[in-house]
Amino acid sequence: MIVINIADIHGNALPISEMKEILSSADLVLLSGDITHFGGEKEASQIINQIRSYNPNILAVTGNCDTKEVDSYLERENIQIHGRYIEIEGVNIFGAGGSLPCPSPTPNVYTENEYNEIFDGSTEGIEENSPTIMVSHQPPINTLNDTISSGAHVGSITVRKFIENIEPLVCFTGHIHEAPGIDEIGVTKIVNPGPLGTGSYAYMEIRDKIEILEIRKF
Protein backbone atom coordinates (compact mmCIF):
# COMPACT_ATOMS: atom_id res chain seq x y z
CA MET A 1 0.00 0.00 0.00
CA ILE A 2 1.37 3.41 -1.01
CA VAL A 3 0.41 6.17 1.44
CA ILE A 4 0.84 9.90 0.87
CA ASN A 5 0.65 12.17 3.90
CA ILE A 6 0.23 15.92 3.73
CA ALA A 7 -0.07 18.36 6.60
CA ASP A 8 -0.97 21.96 7.34
CA ILE A 9 -2.60 22.88 4.05
CA HIS A 10 -4.17 26.00 5.64
CA GLY A 11 -6.62 26.45 2.78
CA ASN A 12 -3.92 26.82 0.12
CA ALA A 13 -5.13 24.63 -2.76
CA LEU A 14 -2.45 25.60 -5.28
CA PRO A 15 0.15 22.99 -4.23
CA ILE A 16 -2.47 20.22 -4.52
CA SER A 17 -2.66 20.62 -8.29
CA GLU A 18 1.13 20.43 -8.44
CA MET A 19 0.88 17.03 -6.71
CA LYS A 20 -1.74 15.50 -9.00
CA GLU A 21 0.48 12.71 -10.33
CA ILE A 22 1.79 11.92 -6.84
CA LEU A 23 -1.71 11.81 -5.36
CA SER A 24 -3.06 9.74 -8.25
CA SER A 25 -0.39 7.09 -7.74
CA ALA A 26 -1.24 6.49 -4.05
CA ASP A 27 -3.55 3.90 -2.53
CA LEU A 28 -4.39 6.26 0.34
CA VAL A 29 -4.01 9.96 1.16
CA LEU A 30 -3.76 10.94 4.83
CA LEU A 31 -4.32 14.53 5.96
CA SER A 32 -2.90 15.37 9.38
CA GLY A 33 -4.75 18.56 10.16
CA ASP A 34 -5.14 22.27 9.47
CA ILE A 35 -6.97 21.61 6.24
CA THR A 36 -8.28 25.18 6.38
CA HIS A 37 -7.11 28.43 7.93
CA PHE A 38 -9.90 29.12 10.44
CA GLY A 39 -12.38 27.91 7.84
CA GLY A 40 -15.54 25.81 7.92
CA GLU A 41 -17.29 23.32 5.66
CA LYS A 42 -17.09 25.44 2.51
CA GLU A 43 -13.34 25.91 2.75
CA ALA A 44 -12.72 22.28 3.75
CA SER A 45 -14.86 20.88 0.94
CA GLN A 46 -12.90 22.89 -1.63
CA ILE A 47 -9.67 21.27 -0.46
CA ILE A 48 -11.11 17.77 -0.10
CA ASN A 49 -12.84 17.88 -3.48
CA GLN A 50 -9.66 18.96 -5.20
CA ILE A 51 -7.74 16.07 -3.66
CA ARG A 52 -10.61 13.73 -4.59
CA SER A 53 -10.31 14.77 -8.21
CA TYR A 54 -6.93 12.98 -8.17
CA ASN A 55 -7.59 10.31 -5.52
CA PRO A 56 -10.90 9.37 -3.82
CA ASN A 57 -9.24 7.45 -0.98
CA ILE A 58 -8.78 10.04 1.78
CA LEU A 59 -8.70 9.84 5.56
CA ALA A 60 -8.20 12.94 7.71
CA VAL A 61 -8.15 14.66 11.05
CA THR A 62 -8.64 18.35 11.68
CA GLY A 63 -6.09 20.75 13.11
CA ASN A 64 -6.35 23.51 15.67
CA CYS A 65 -7.00 26.06 12.88
CA ASP A 66 -10.02 24.11 11.59
CA THR A 67 -13.41 24.91 13.13
CA LYS A 68 -15.67 22.21 14.57
CA GLU A 69 -17.72 22.58 11.38
CA VAL A 70 -14.84 20.93 9.54
CA ASP A 71 -15.02 17.94 11.90
CA SER A 72 -18.73 17.59 11.15
CA TYR A 73 -18.07 17.79 7.41
CA LEU A 74 -15.37 15.08 7.56
CA GLU A 75 -17.74 12.84 9.53
CA ARG A 76 -20.51 13.21 6.96
CA GLU A 77 -18.02 12.40 4.20
CA ASN A 78 -16.92 9.31 6.16
CA ILE A 79 -13.26 10.27 6.03
CA GLN A 80 -12.90 11.36 9.65
CA ILE A 81 -10.56 9.30 11.87
CA HIS A 82 -10.65 11.56 14.93
CA GLY A 83 -11.53 9.24 17.81
CA ARG A 84 -12.04 6.19 15.57
CA TYR A 85 -10.20 3.74 13.37
CA ILE A 86 -10.70 2.42 9.86
CA GLU A 87 -9.15 -0.80 8.56
CA ILE A 88 -7.71 -0.79 5.05
CA GLU A 89 -5.93 -3.83 3.61
CA GLY A 90 -5.29 -5.19 7.10
CA VAL A 91 -3.83 -1.93 8.44
CA ASN A 92 -5.73 -0.03 11.14
CA ILE A 93 -5.61 3.75 10.80
CA PHE A 94 -6.70 5.94 13.70
CA GLY A 95 -6.19 9.47 14.89
CA ALA A 96 -6.94 12.65 16.76
CA GLY A 97 -7.33 16.19 15.52
CA GLY A 98 -6.94 19.61 17.11
CA SER A 99 -4.06 20.54 19.39
CA LEU A 100 -3.24 21.52 22.93
CA PRO A 101 -4.14 25.16 23.73
CA CYS A 102 -1.89 27.58 21.84
CA PRO A 103 -0.45 30.99 22.88
CA SER A 104 -2.95 32.59 20.47
CA PRO A 105 -6.54 31.29 20.63
CA THR A 106 -7.53 28.76 17.97
CA PRO A 107 -10.94 27.11 17.53
CA ASN A 108 -10.07 23.43 17.95
CA VAL A 109 -8.13 22.55 21.10
CA TYR A 110 -8.11 19.75 23.68
CA THR A 111 -6.58 19.16 27.09
CA GLU A 112 -4.24 16.28 27.85
CA ASN A 113 -7.10 14.50 29.65
CA GLU A 114 -9.36 14.92 26.63
CA TYR A 115 -6.68 13.47 24.36
CA ASN A 116 -6.47 10.45 26.62
CA GLU A 117 -10.19 9.80 26.13
CA ILE A 118 -10.01 10.42 22.37
CA PHE A 119 -7.19 7.95 21.84
CA ASP A 120 -8.79 5.31 24.05
CA GLY A 121 -11.90 5.56 21.90
CA SER A 122 -10.00 5.58 18.62
CA THR A 123 -8.30 2.23 19.23
CA GLU A 124 -11.16 0.34 20.89
CA GLY A 125 -11.71 -2.85 18.91
CA ILE A 126 -8.31 -3.00 17.20
CA GLU A 127 -6.81 -6.48 17.46
CA GLU A 128 -3.63 -6.64 19.51
CA ASN A 129 -0.40 -6.78 17.47
CA SER A 130 -2.15 -5.77 14.24
CA PRO A 131 -0.31 -3.14 12.14
CA THR A 132 -1.47 0.42 12.89
CA ILE A 133 -0.98 3.92 11.55
CA MET A 134 -1.61 6.90 13.84
CA VAL A 135 -2.49 10.40 12.62
CA SER A 136 -2.24 13.14 15.24
CA HIS A 137 -2.12 16.83 14.39
CA GLN A 138 -0.67 17.43 17.85
CA PRO A 139 2.85 15.94 17.98
CA PRO A 140 4.17 13.98 20.95
CA ILE A 141 6.50 15.72 23.37
CA ASN A 142 10.30 15.53 23.28
CA THR A 143 10.92 14.77 19.62
CA LEU A 144 12.34 16.57 16.64
CA ASN A 145 8.78 17.24 15.56
CA ASP A 146 7.58 19.27 18.56
CA THR A 147 10.58 21.60 18.79
CA ILE A 148 9.85 25.29 18.17
CA SER A 149 12.40 27.88 17.05
CA SER A 150 13.40 28.72 20.64
CA GLY A 151 14.35 25.07 21.20
CA ALA A 152 11.44 24.42 23.55
CA HIS A 153 9.35 21.25 23.24
CA VAL A 154 5.60 21.90 22.98
CA GLY A 155 4.28 18.42 22.27
CA SER A 156 1.77 16.34 24.18
CA ILE A 157 2.65 14.04 27.07
CA THR A 158 -0.51 12.03 26.41
CA VAL A 159 0.26 11.53 22.71
CA ARG A 160 3.74 10.30 23.59
CA LYS A 161 2.49 7.89 26.27
CA PHE A 162 -0.08 6.51 23.87
CA ILE A 163 2.59 5.88 21.24
CA GLU A 164 4.76 4.12 23.82
CA ASN A 165 1.85 1.89 24.87
CA ILE A 166 0.28 1.09 21.48
CA GLU A 167 3.47 1.11 19.37
CA PRO A 168 1.97 2.05 15.98
CA LEU A 169 4.25 1.63 13.00
CA VAL A 170 4.17 5.35 12.32
CA CYS A 171 2.62 8.54 13.69
CA PHE A 172 1.97 11.21 11.07
CA THR A 173 1.77 14.64 12.66
CA GLY A 174 2.03 18.34 11.86
CA HIS A 175 1.14 21.58 13.67
CA ILE A 176 4.71 22.75 14.36
CA HIS A 177 5.66 24.27 11.01
CA GLU A 178 9.32 24.70 11.87
CA ALA A 179 9.77 21.05 12.91
CA PRO A 180 9.60 18.85 9.81
CA GLY A 181 11.46 15.58 9.76
CA ILE A 182 11.40 11.94 10.82
CA ASP A 183 12.09 10.93 14.41
CA GLU A 184 11.21 7.86 16.46
CA ILE A 185 9.79 6.80 19.79
CA GLY A 186 10.74 3.17 20.39
CA VAL A 187 9.61 1.22 17.33
CA THR A 188 7.35 4.03 16.07
CA LYS A 189 8.44 6.49 13.40
CA ILE A 190 7.25 10.07 14.00
CA VAL A 191 6.78 12.05 10.79
CA ASN A 192 6.03 15.72 10.20
CA PRO A 193 6.36 16.38 6.45
CA GLY A 194 6.15 20.16 7.01
CA PRO A 195 3.43 22.49 5.72
CA LEU A 196 2.21 21.65 2.25
CA GLY A 197 3.05 25.17 1.12
CA THR A 198 6.76 24.39 1.52
CA GLY A 199 6.44 21.78 -1.23
CA SER A 200 6.91 18.71 0.94
CA TYR A 201 4.97 15.55 1.73
CA ALA A 202 5.56 12.14 3.27
CA TYR A 203 5.74 9.00 1.14
CA MET A 204 5.31 5.53 2.64
CA GLU A 205 5.10 2.01 1.28
CA ILE A 206 3.70 -0.42 3.82
CA ARG A 207 2.79 -4.11 3.98
CA ASP A 208 2.97 -5.77 7.40
CA LYS A 209 5.81 -3.36 8.08
CA ILE A 210 7.15 -0.12 6.62
CA GLU A 211 9.11 -0.74 3.43
CA ILE A 212 9.83 2.89 2.51
CA LEU A 213 9.26 6.07 4.56
CA GLU A 214 10.56 9.39 3.27
CA ILE A 215 9.83 13.11 3.22
CA ARG A 216 9.88 14.21 -0.40
CA LYS A 217 9.61 17.45 -2.37
CA PHE A 218 7.39 18.09 -5.37
Spell out the domains of the chain, with CATH numbers in brackets: 2-217 (3.60.21.10)
Alpha helices in the chain (DSSP H): 14-18, 20-24, 41-52, 68-76, 112-123, 157-166
**Contacting residues for 21 by C-beta, under 8 A, at least 6 apart:** none
Q: What is the pLDDT of residue 20?
A: 97
Of 102, 123, 125, 111, the residue nearest 157 (C-alpha)? 111
Give dist(CA 154, CA 140) in Å, integer: 8
Q: What is the pLDDT of residue 106?
A: 98
**Contacting residues for 137 by C-beta, under 8 A, at least 6 apart:** 7, 32, 33, 34, 61, 62, 63, 64, 96, 97, 98, 99, 173, 174, 175
DSSP H or E segment with residue 182: strand 181-185
Q: What is the pLDDT of residue 128?
A: 87
Mean pLDDT (10-residue bins), the chain, 218 residues: 98 97 98 98 98 98 98 98 96 98 96 97 92 98 97 98 97 98 98 98 95 98
Q: What is the pLDDT of residue 24?
A: 98
Helix, strand, or coil (residue 209): coil
Give dist(CA 36, CA 167) in Å, integer: 30
Give dist(CA 174, CA 21) in Å, integer: 23
Contact 93, 79 (CB under 8 A): no
DSSP H or E segment with residue 63: none
Q: What is the pLDDT of residue 67?
A: 98
Of 80, 99, 113, the residue nearest 174 (C-alpha)? 99
